[in-house]
Amino acid sequence: MRFFHRGFASCCPMQSAGLCLTLLLAAGCGTTATSNSGDTIDLDGIDQNDVDLDGVDIDQDTLSKLDIKSDTISADADAQDSQGTDAAGTDASGTDAISPDADTAQGTDAVDTASGCTATADCDDKNPCTDDTCGGNGVCSHSNNDVGCDDGNACTVEDACASGKCTGAAKNCADENVCTSDSCDQAIGCVHLANDVTCNDGIACTLADTCTQTACVGIPNAATCADGNECTTDSCDVASGNCVNLNNDATCTDNDACTTGDVCKDGGCTATITDCNDNNVCTSDACNTDSGACTHNPTEGSCDDGNICTTGDYCSGEGICVGDGDLNCNDDNACTADSCNSGITSKFVKIGCIHAPLTDTACSDGNACTIGDWCMEGACLAGDPTNCNDDNTCTDDSCNADTGACVNLANAVTCNDGDPCTLADTCTETMCKGTPNSCGQAGFEQGSSCSFSYCDYTDGSCKTSSYGAVWGGTFKTMAGWKLQGEWQIGLAAASTDQAFGNSDPSSDDDGDGYLAGTAIGLSISPTPHDWYYLTSPVIDLSMYATSTYLDYTTNWAYDHSMIFEFSWWANLAEVGETAKLEFSGDGKTWVTVGDTLLNVQMASWKYAYQWPYTGTNNGNEIIPKALLTKSFQFRIGYKVDSVDALIPLVSGISIDRPEIWVGTCWD
């Protein structure tokens, strides 16, 4: 705080206000001295020559050394020196010179003489929590700071200055060990002394846990977990404290002379009982529990003498089993030879009654309507049934089981004469007869416009249509075709590896590049095998099943109305290689309509009528009326017979351009 008095000027810190007041009183100035902050110091009644600050009188000369001019020792003319100058003259420093001693810590309380401090070192108050400075007027100042420090106490941490003092937070000396007593010494810091309090060592299998040398130690559980059973291994679960008695497989003893190999199993002592069985049902077998010896005493009763061909076996009383009669092995089957085998002569021979099956021996199945009954592997098989079927829907056929005679009685049932173009078919006097359809049997000659009327075989209706080719197959896609063995569908390719005859064709017949063949471009395997087939997709020919297609030039029957045609190229050896053409109306039953001869070698594309055929009049080209169904298919097969002669390598068969035509339009 800065104080002003007329004629005096000095810089006085707040903490030195008392000393400053003493100096002012010693100066003997006017009645008051007023600071620029408004404080007023009462100086009345003080004689400047009588003020004794430290036991030494201060005279006028001494006051001169304090930079107090003689003309300034008087009250300020205006009672307040707001400008910092005395009325009687100007203070050279601009402040009142009276202030407390800045270095009272050095043991002096006199007012500094001359100019006061000259450097910061002169102002060191030995307190790290103050920042010491020397002002330009020679007066020291000490302002508090908040820097880190050391309060000299080992029991505090994070020491720092606050309000001019060095203080710290109390140090945490807890070591989380229940077996130490924790404290703090200001000189050395934390102290952890071992104690002997009760504790818990975390082991459930110990008791009376107590602290010993800073560790928690318990006494092993005095209540032993031993259960007195040699077949258990006993222990204590350290987590729960529960006894654990686990079964073991140690050796043991059951104190029984009639057992051997005693061993622990499932917590008990088990053993193998001494086997005293002599496998004789005519003795009573036992074991002496004291000595372990076996005894065998004869008995009576039924038994088995080991001979399956005897009956009534019994114990003779001497420990022997004997038989009383022979086993009856007759099975009343005329188709077996009956006997009995009393002992094993081979592991493959049955013991006891043997009923050897007979084959090709006459027998009777008890039915007079079978002929030539015979034995087959021990069973009497019925011979051929008496065939009483006269293949006539208009008769009811039967056989008298007692006499074997056939009975064929006429009936009057509705029937089917096989021709959809007849109506109201009925059995009359064992004959099926129908009324012809009004479409009649009109036809036309080959080479006409192919426009005609017909009775539709599928429903018997009359229709008019114009037909040429009604179906044409292509091998450009695999759709619907089925292949077996070495049959393939692909681009034509000439073969070069055949050892016999001609190669496969280098180009197809219909111009699209594709054909079906056996191992296209290669030879077929000479290894013997059964039929391999190329089978067509299902073709619906039901709408062409008509009875009105007639050819007046050749007088073909209406069955010959649909013509199957294809192109083929074949190279088969003269030994063991054949091919055939088949038709089917249901995909199950197949009819052979043409087959090849051996040694067929065609070096160019041929047509169906040049395929070796079965029958006459190129019958392989004509589809019978009965096969004109929704499920018509054709297939071409080849096989290699099992023969002794060497089969040479041949190129096989190629097929292309399969078509179906209306017969009367075919040329």
* DSSP calls for 181-230: EEEEETTTEEEEEE---B---S-TTEEEEEEETTEEEEEEPSS----S-T
* Selected residue with higher pLDDT from 541 and 615: 541
**pLDDT above 50: residue 277:** yes
The answer to whether residue 297 sits within a structural domain is: no
Amino acid at 250: A
Residues 636 and 522 reside in one and the same domain: yes
525: Cβ–Cβ under 8 A, 6 or more apart, which residues? 486, 519, 640
Residue whose structure tokens are 């020792």 = 73
Q: Which residues pair with 381 in a beta bridge?
A: 374
pLDDT reading at 553 higher than 50 = no
Amino acid at 322: V
Find out whether 36 and 26 touch, Cβ atoms under 8 Å.
no
Provide the 3-class DSSP secondary structure of residue 380.
strand
Residue 412 in this model has a pLDDT that exceeds 80? yes
433 and 485 in a single domain? The answer is no
Q: Are residues 517 and 609 located together in one domain of the fold? A: yes
Q: 98 lies in which domain range?
A: 3-114
| Count of Cβ atoms closer than 10 Å to residue 84 Cβ | 15
Distance from C-alpha of 22 to C-alpha of 66, rounded to nearest angstrom: 14
Cα–Cα distances in Å, from 566 out to 175, 282, 428, 540, 658? 107, 88, 45, 18, 4
Does residue 622 or residue 83 have the better pLDDT? 622
577 and 506: one domain? yes
Higher pLDDT, 642 or 510: 510
Q: Residue 459 is which amino acid? A: D
* Cα–chain center distance at 598: 60
Question: Taking CA 476 as the corner, what is the angle to CA 472 and CA 480, rounded to the nearest 5 degrees?
Answer: 65
Last residue of a domain, one of 114, 132, 159: 114
What's the confidence (pLDDT) of residue 57?
43
Query: Which helix (H) or strand (E) segment is 24 a member of?
Result: helix 17-27
512 with 661, same domain: the answer is: yes
* Domain assignment of residue 598, yes or no: yes
pLDDT of residue 207: 80
Residue 616 pLDDT greater than 50, yes or no: no
* Res 222: pLDDT: 52
Q: How far apart are CA 476 and CA 515, in angstroms?
A: 8
- The verdict on residue 135 lying in a domain is no
Check pLDDT > 70 for residue 344.
Answer: no
Long-range pairs, 619-623, Cβ under 8 A, ≥24: 619/593, 619/594, 620/564, 620/581, 620/593, 620/594, 621/563, 621/564, 621/565, 622/556, 622/559, 622/560, 622/562, 622/563, 622/564, 622/663, 623/541, 623/562, 623/563, 623/564, 623/583, 623/660
What percent of the chain is predicted at pLDDT more than 90? 24
Q: Are residues 552 and 425 in the same domain?
A: no
**269, 254 contact by CB (below 8 A):** yes
Tokens standing for residue 453: 């009327």
The least confident of 158-172, 273-287, 426-440, 499-513 is 426-440
Q: Which of 92, 114, 136 is the last residue of a domain?
A: 114
Over the stretch 555-593, which tens digit does the pLDDT of each residue have?
Answer: 444 444 677 888 989 888 877 788 889 999 999 999 988
How many domains is the chain partitioned into structurally?
3
Beta strand ranges found along 113-197 (DSSP E): 130-134, 140-144, 156-162, 165-170, 180-185, 189-194
Same domain, yes or no: 539 and 661: yes
- Please report the pLDDT score of residue 52 as a whole number: 42
Q: Verify that 424 and 504 share a domain, yes or no.
A: no
Residue 39 lies in a domain: yes
Q: What is the CA radius of gyration of the chain?
A: 69
The answer, yes or no, to whether residue 98 has pLDDT greater than 80, is: no
Instruction: State pTM to two decimals.
Output: 0.35
C-alpha dihedral, 31 to 36 to 38 to 40, nearest 10°: -20
| Cα–Cα dist 225/220, whole Å | 11
Q: Residue 576 falls within a domain, yes or no?
A: yes
- Spatial distance between the Cα atoms of 430 and 494, rounded to a whole number of angstroms: 62
Same domain as 98, residue 25: yes
Condensed to tens digits (0 to 9), the pLDDT of residues 82-94 reads: 444 343 333 444 4
**Averaged pLDDT score across all residues of the chain:** 74
Residues 326 and 324: their CA atoms lie apart, in Å, by 7
Task: Kindly report, residue by residue over 61-83, the tens digit of the pLDDT.
Answer: 433 333 333 333 333 433 334 44
User: CATH number, domain at 594?
Assistant: 2.60.120.200
Residue 320 forms part of a structural domain:
no
Residue 21 has pLDDT above 80, yes or no: no
Over range 476-492, report the average pLDDT. Answer: 89
Q: Which is it for the CA torsion 458, 459, 462, 465, positive or negative? A: negative
pLDDT in tens, 487-496: 999 999 999 8
CA 385 – CA 374 distance, rounded (Å): 13
Helix (H) or strand (E) holding 26: helix 17-27
35-38 long-range CB contacts below 8 Å, 24 or more apart?
35/1, 35/2, 35/3, 35/4, 36/2, 36/4, 36/81, 36/82, 36/84, 37/1, 37/2
Q: Please indicate, yes or no, if residue 123 is contained in any of the structural domains.
A: no
Same domain flag for 480 and 586 = yes
User: In terms of domains, do 433 and 474 share one?
Assistant: no
Look at residues 96, 114, 132 and tell me which one is the last residue of a structural domain: 114
Distance CA 543, CA 458 (A): 6
38 lies in a domain? yes
Domain identity same for 547 and 434: no
DSSP string covering 545-569: -BS---BTTTTB-GGG-EEEEEEEE
Query: What pLDDT shows up at residue 130?
Result: 92
Q: What is the distance of C-alpha 75 from the center of its chain?
A: 109
